[in-house]
Structure 1
Amino acid sequence: MSRHVPLPARLRAGRPPLRALAAAVLVALLAACSSSGGSGDEASSSASSSDAPVAGGTYVHALEADPLGCLDAPQQRFHVALNITRQLADSLVDQDPETGKIVPWLAKSWEISDDAKTFTFHLVDGATFSDGKPVDAAAVKANLDRIVALGAKAIGAGPWIQGYQSTEAVDPSTAVVTFDRPNVQFLQALSGSWFGLISPADTGKSPEELCKGTYAGSGPFTLESYTKDQDAVLLKRTGYDWPSSLAAHKGEAYLDKLQFTFVPEASVRSGTLTSGQVQSISLVTWQDEEPLKAAGDTLLTARQPGLTESWIPNQQSWLADDEPVRQAIRYAINSQEIVDTVYGPTYRSRTAPLNSTTPGYVDLSSELPYDQAKAAKLLEDDGWKLGADGIRVKDGKRLSLNVIASYTDLELIQQQLKAVGIEYKIRQLDPAAASKATIAGDYDIYAWTMTRADPTVLNALFSSDWTSLGYAKANPSELDDLLATQESTVDPDERAAAAAEVQKYIVERAWLIPIVDRAWTYGTGPTSHGLRLDGETKLVFYDAWIGK
């Protein structure tokens, strides 16, 4: 009998202002403004069994794409890559997906200064990298320093280490990390795969070499091979015994081998699951859900924290000076139709720039209605007149959008925009071409989404002070002050208020146009046990085992 396994909702709880950011108090900060995201269709782990876990065997998981040729987490923001690297390199801390609480991992405890500029970590005893070197304070320093040294190449980790000054190895088990500004979000950032620790013997390797996965990690698996567009094969690491405090067991991983195979076609992925060729799959489409359930498979649905699927206007393009057009795009997009037609019921109509499970989320659905008539009037009042072909023209210029996008809802959005006289020529680029166009500013709008369990995902897009993702190409404005407050305020109530103001600002001015509140569904077969998702919905195979 197949089923959706419920994921307990994150908890909202009132907490007093912070006076000293000790470990437990900072945890409260991170969870204080988290929103209930459970809907009865979400899950955090695969089918359980009353039988005891069985060691051994090869577990196969089908991912939806190749990780773009790079298995170095700080250089990645692609979900499939981080699902692989999560198994290779452990983090200093972990995040409970049910509560948002930050919990011990390679750091058994920590203290944070009152101004959130200094973080002191006390490391567990006995942890090593797969080359035998100790996971010590010097290794923590080498890892953080190498992320800074990567510069613009650290597209995954770089945005979350803004203001980094230094790491001091006080003694082998104590590392003190210092920033030149308050960095409240840093502790949560450390829980992600981007900050998984690798051996200091490898941190000096070139970015290209690290992308090959040729490093000794701190995690429960090691990389045996990576074949682009085919698979990545991982082996159990002998002697591993320092899992996250969220793990269900201690000691080595149960699996002898873990194979990630890359299967871009959704129906083919589902076919490999129902036929028993794989134990689990990523990114199940809603059209495949019923056939999988009928075949006896289990669906795990996760509502990722972070940015919604969004359209981000380029503030250096002509759109920056034409707010009525940006507003018209916002009103012309029918989010519920996109959910019903393209994504299915696991997704939800847009309500804010942040997904509903993100700490700091605020419901702005009243600001995001579908109103075709209002969109048309905004354009008409702005001087855009309908042409003979149904596309509006102003001063001889066609109302045509240059959008870089890779979503599956493009044709429907194209139709919705055309209904109010906006031309959208679908332009899908491969990663290299998209990167080149982004650097050149060759776009009016960038379609983007990003998983991050903290509202500072918006800082990385919109702060003119950050070395950021840069898609908005933001100009200095009063938004910078709001973003700085959101980034640095230690009082949880004040931080939640700042996050709300940031979201209202960018929605009211249409600097970000939410499309849908996203969710991903994984499928697991009857032999899959113990697979779970971390606080940012990355797969964790440490507790996974194969049953009969």
Structure 2
Amino acid sequence: MKNVGPAAVLASLSLLAAACGGAESSPSGKPVEGGTFSFALPADPGLLDPAMGILGVTNTVLSLAYDTLVNQTPDGKIVPGLAEKWDVKPDSVTFTLRKDVTCSDGSKLTAADVAENVNHIADPATKSPIYGVLVPAGMTAKADEAAGTVTLSTPKPFSFILESSPLMFIVCGKAVKDRSLIAHATSGSGPYKLVEAVPSDHYTFEIRKDYAWGPNGATTEEPGMPAKVVLKVVPNEQTAANLIISGGLNGAIVRGADRKRLEATPGVSKVLMPEAKGQFFYHQGDDRPGKDPAVRKALTQAINLPELGNISSSGTGRPVTGLVGDPRPCQGDSVTGRVPAFDPAAAAAGLDAAGWKAGPDGIRVKDGKKLSLRLLYITTRGAGPQAAAEYLAAAWKKVGAETVLNGVIDTKLPESLNVTQDWDVTWLPIGVTLPSQLVGFLSGPAAPKGGNFAHLNNSRYNTLVGDAALKPGEEGCKLWLEAESALFENSDLVPVVEDTVLIAQKGAKFELLAGLFQPTTIRMTGAG
């Protein structure tokens, strides 16, 4: 597998699968026992090894089968998971593991298993795209089997050493030593086990009846938990909405035009969930227009950002206040007053001053080269990103820049973003829960050698995150927020909107957190 870089992790994620399942009926209204829960995936998850998971949809799938050392509640509180307690120091955290945890193959979870997960991801030979994002750079793990503990350490103090733990899926059993076993299968301690994988069609999971170590003591003996979970690959949102209404699906995440239709449908439960924020980046490579900060500022001034946010979110977004999603460890607003305001006249003047003069066709030229931008975006996030791309192209044409649209599916994004780098601007929603997860692709070695896909080199950002990382989480928050602001002031990236999505539910209830299933919350209700 190509080393596509950590940035691909952040890009959060057949018409009708052959697998059976859907809304179960219960005339009594009581929880349905032994039911099948079905959910729509917008794209195929690809490789299922947690160390190589590069798509948001991949982690949605993996969350059914894998546990983490600790769990996080919607309000950001850390609660026990595989670990029953922990001891935090500035540069390490020691977890004491539960003694009753078993893997889906029947083997006992060991401290050595946990340590090997972290060390495998940190091994340069693995080329894990989550290293430096979901697993902090430089982290190592050491097991003490006799004490039942595992210690995660970093070379120097790290702000969110504990808060990173809810993001690490722990592989156990034979797959710890042979990762080929989980390319298209699972080997975890979670409440479900993958029993059938038909790529681009469906993925079927069966319940583990012996599971008893979920959040807050949750088990799989709870009334109404489904015996099977079928994840159907349904790229078309209209099709997914139709299946929800007809009972062919119990759940789906809907972003586009069908959202209003589902919200008005009797029997469909509606839950709103914040999603990765909308923003765009400028490529700052030596041969790109975005290398010049004056050009970046002018292109930003050419955009009415509130209007773009409304278009990109199909009218369901809200003002953006930062780059980190909920639950946010650092509360505050790093955006307001930090982004160049909408001013087309100033944009035109700025491009003139930068040496880009209008040609006979209205497109600006400098040193014989046209001001042409290749705009990269994901096509599997509903109609919003497509409409946003078209809006950007039209706005930039008015100030003399031509734009070529390049829409790709999730699985093609990593190669375009990091390897071929055939883009000048990219609309890339970021889905992180810690500001430290951004550092690996907002600074450091540029792609394709590193995760810094936009070739950013903001010295103020680099200094601020370096200082912030050495302070305990809340103490360093002011610096983390200032670091984000430094990016916006320099037009390195442009925050546009915080989106929301509809989690449509019929015949079942369930919870998602940061795009991940909370599997022990799934209940077949028979309603709808």
Q: Assess if the C-alpha contact under 8 Å between 1:117 and 1:180 holds in 2.
A: yes
Question: Which letter does structure 1 place at the counterpart of 2:423?
Answer: Y
Query: Of the candidates 503, 513, 516, which is equivalent to residue 522 of structure 1?
Result: 503
Query: Of the candidates 267, 271, 276, which is equivalent to residue 247 of structure 2?
Result: 276
Are 1:74 and 2:45 matched, yes or no?
no
For 1:503 and 1:401, the matched residues in 2 are separated by 25
Q: What is aligned with 1:391?
A: 363
Query: Of the candidates 149, 162, 166, which is equivalent to residue 137 of structure 2?
Result: 162
For the aligned residue pairs, the C-alpha RMSD in angstroms reads 2.7
For 1:122 and 1:166, the matched residues in 2 are separated by 13
Q: Assess if the C-alpha contact under 8 Å between 2:51 and 2:121 holds in 1.
A: yes
Q: What is aligned with 2:99?
A: 125
Residues 363-390 of structure 1, C-alpha deviations (whole Å, 9 max, x = no match): 4232333322222221122222222322
Are 1:401 and 2:373 matched, yes or no?
yes
Question: Which letter does structure 2 place at the counterpart of 1:216?
Answer: S
Q: Assess if the C-alpha contact under 8 Å between 2:91 and 2:156 holds in 1.
A: yes
Are 1:216 and 2:187 matched, yes or no?
yes
Q: What is aligned with 1:15?
A: none
Question: Which letter does structure 1 place at the counterpart of 2:42?
Answer: E
Are 1:457 and 2:437 matched, yes or no?
yes
Task: Give the direction of change, closer, same or farther, for the CA distance of 1:291–1:240 in structure 2 (3 Å limit).
Answer: closer
Are 1:183 and 2:165 matched, yes or no?
no
Q: What is aligned with 1:259?
A: 230
1:540 positional shift: 2.2
1:228 positional shift: 1.1
Q: What is aligned with 1:469?
A: 451
1:85 positional shift: 0.3
Residues 258-281 of structure 1, C-alpha deviations (whole Å, 9 max, x = no match): 000011111111000011111111
Task: Give the direction of change, closer, same or farther, for the CA distance of 1:255–1:480 in structure 2 (3 Å limit).
Answer: same
DSSP-derived class of the 2:418 partner: helix
1:219 positional shift: 0.2
For 1:203 and 1:158, the matched residues in 2 are separated by 21
Question: Which letter does structure 2 place at the counterpart of 1:541?
Answer: P
Are 1:204 and 2:187 matched, yes or no?
no
For 1:252 and 1:151, the matched residues in 2 are separated by 45
Residues 108-142 of structure 1, C-alpha deviations (whole Å, 9 max, x = no match): 110111xx211100111201101122222111112
1:204 positional shift: 2.5
Task: Give the direction of change, closer, same or farther, for the CA distance of 1:143–1:455 in structure 2 (3 Å limit).
Answer: same
Q: What is aligned with 1:503?
A: 484
For 1:166 and 1:90, the matched residues in 2 are separated by 17
TM-score (ref. length: structure 1): 0.82
Q: What is aligned with 1:14?
A: none
Task: Give the direction of change, closer, same or farther, for the CA distance of 1:142–1:291 in structure 2 (3 Å limit).
Answer: closer
Residues 334-365 of structure 1, C-alpha deviations (whole Å, 9 max, x = no match): 23223333422321244444457633352423
Query: Of the candidates 72, 79, 85, which is equivalent to residue 95 of structure 1?
Result: 72
For 2:80 and 2:48, the matched residues in 1 are separated by 25
Q: What is aligned with 1:28?
A: none
Structure 1 unpaired stretches of 5+: 1-48
Question: Which letter does structure 1 place at the counterpart of 2:81?
Answer: W
1:312 positional shift: 4.2
Identity of aligned pairs, percent?
24
Q: What is aligned with 1:174?
A: 149
Q: What is aligned with 1:490?
A: 472
Task: Give the direction of change, closer, same or farther, for the CA distance of 1:148–1:164 in structure 2 (3 Å limit).
Answer: same
Task: Give the direction of change, closer, same or farther, for the CA distance of 1:484–1:253 in structure 2 (3 Å limit).
Answer: farther
DSSP-derived class of the 1:254 partner: coil
Query: Of the candidates 300, 304, 327, which is equivalent to residue 297 of structure 2?
Result: 327
Residues 199-254 of structure 1, C-alpha deviations (whole Å, 9 max, x = no match): 14212224x553212x4211000001111110110001121111012859866982
For 1:122 and 1:474, the matched residues in 2 are separated by 40
Task: Give the direction of change, closer, same or farther, for the CA distance of 1:285–1:429 in structure 2 (3 Å limit).
Answer: closer
Query: Of the candidates 288, 293, 308, which is equivalent to residue 338 of structure 1?
Result: 308
Structure 2 unpaired stretches of 5+: 1-25, 379-384
Residues 399-438 of structure 1, C-alpha deviations (whole Å, 9 max, x = no match): 1113332232211211121122111101234534751662
DSSP-derived class of the 2:205 partner: strand
Pairs aligned (count): 487
For 1:209 and 1:317, the matched residues in 2 are separated by 43
